[in-house]
Amino acid sequence: MVELQINTTQNVNINFTAASVGERILAYAIDWIIKIAYGIVVYQLLFNLFEIDDMIRDMDTWSQIAIILMFYLPVILYSLIFETLLDGQTPGKRILKIKVVKIDGYQASLADFLIRWFFRIVDINMMTGVVALIAIITSNKNQRLGDMTAGTSVIALKNKVNISHTILENLKQDYKPTYPNVIKLSDNDARIIKDTFTTARASKDYQTLIKLRKKLIEVVEIKEMKQKTDIEFIDVILKDYNYYTQNM
């Protein structure tokens, strides 16, 4: 089990457990089963049901290649599409409860997923994944080459933690939220905010609290802060986030 320490831009260390080689291989296998199933369905529909092969046969080679690529493009872009849409997860990763995150603590972006997808050519497709396997085993953060280049890693989401180590907050039954725009945040954002807030409040690091408050006002697009102090404001943000996500 590899412990992955993510250092946020607020110099707060957050500990995660890196996904094991076995978990990543199994997730990869599940994704391939889905790809194969898609390919079989497409083949049956196009060539058996619609008999498109008769139409393709009369075309030139490049046109035939273009048509085949068009229908199998979802397989080629599979990981890029799903990791972008599912917040760092493919169906295989979601089933295994693992996820792609940035080493700096931020949510991975489309550019990061694009880099990871591009490097699959070297990591996985060449030498049937041997390069990726060697890189993950020898890396101290269980990263393949695509992860190292994009500054990402794959973490396990199954850690047993108590409520103080999660984004969850104890809310009263009659709790009334203040800032609806908190739904702009992701779970990863909320987790980083809570960890940063907890550490800064305990150490009385007011500069970090000020920076965190300013960043939240910008990201959540808050026009008027209704609390008197930064601590009260950030606390309400976390409670509001939990209120809306638990009731969605």
Mean pLDDT by 10 residues, the chain (248 residues): 56 69 93 92 73 67 78 90 92 93 78 92 74 86 90 78 47 82 84 86 90 91 89 90 73
Closest CA to 241 of 187, 205, 203: 187
Q: What's residue 216's pLDDT?
A: 92
Q: Quick one: which H or E segment has residue 152?
A: strand 152-156
Using CB atoms within 10 Å of the CB of residue 162, give its burial: 0 to 12 exposed, 13 to 18 middle, 19+ buried: exposed
Q: Distance of alpha carbon 207 from its chain centroid, rounded?
A: 29
- Measured CA to CA, the distance from residue 22 to residue 24 in angstroms comes to 5
Helix (H, G, I), strand (E, B) or coil at 221: coil
Q: What's residue 231's pLDDT?
A: 92
Q: What's residue 91's pLDDT?
A: 96
Q: In this structure, what token pair is assigned to residue 230?
A: 């930064």
Q: Quick one: which H or E segment has residue 80?
A: helix 78-85
Q: What's residue 130's pLDDT?
A: 84
